[in-house]
A and B are shown apart, each in its own frame.
Chain A
């Protein structure tokens, strides 16, 4: 069985602060994929990034960056200089040999002006 844990239920920051969203996963598969999705108040999930288990390179996309560490089974997401528009629920998800996405319970991020 696979599991994704997002221990931070809610985070509030003031605009322009940096914030890191934690994601810890469990799987017995050697090949797997990790994802981050954003769910704004409108409800639809927006795909942000995919990482495969063989690629531990960190990635940066504008104000977003991701830190993948297999040694600690973590795939953390950092937003630099947060903005009000970043306010949303963020989900980490894992896909392994079952080829089904297992989602974490999500982190509600609120960025205050």
Chain B
């Protein structure tokens, strides 16, 4: 089945540690996105990529990094610089990102907590 796979489902981070969240899609979509969701709040955009080897910062990029070496993959690294990383992280993709009118398809999310 086509879709978006995020792993792991749950992740724990120690102080000062970098962790990487995986996101893979087999929908042949050009655009991919990372969002952060805090309790009782909507989704906030961290980073997005409209094409391989290119990505842009979203509204809350500080303390995060991404790469887009392959069309299918868009991993997110939560660095030690992100002082409040506890949240639910959602990855999404869309056919294109250029027009802004394409529905985004979401993965099941990764819940990150601090040890």
Contact = CB atoms under 8 A, between A and B. Distances in A.
A58 interface: no
Interface residues of A, number: 26
B22 interface: no
B30 to A, nearest CB: 13
A95 interface: yes
A111 B99 CA distance: 36
A33 B45 contact: no
Interface in A87-112: 91, 93, 95-101, 103-106
B16 interface: no
A62 interface: no
Contacts of A9: 40
A44 B100 contact: no
A100 B104 contact: no
Contact of B109 (A37, A43, A104): A43
Interface in B97-115: 97-101, 103-109
Interface of B: 40-45, 48, 58, 88, 90, 92, 97-101, 103-109
7 contacts: A35-B103, A37-B106, A43-B88, A43-B108, A45-B43, A100-B58, A105-B40
Interface of A: 4, 9, 33, 35, 37, 42-47, 50, 52, 91, 93, 95-101, 103-106
9 A-B pairs closest in CB distance: A99-B100, A103-B42, A95-B100, A45-B106, A43-B109, A47-B103, A103-B43, A105-B42, A33-B101
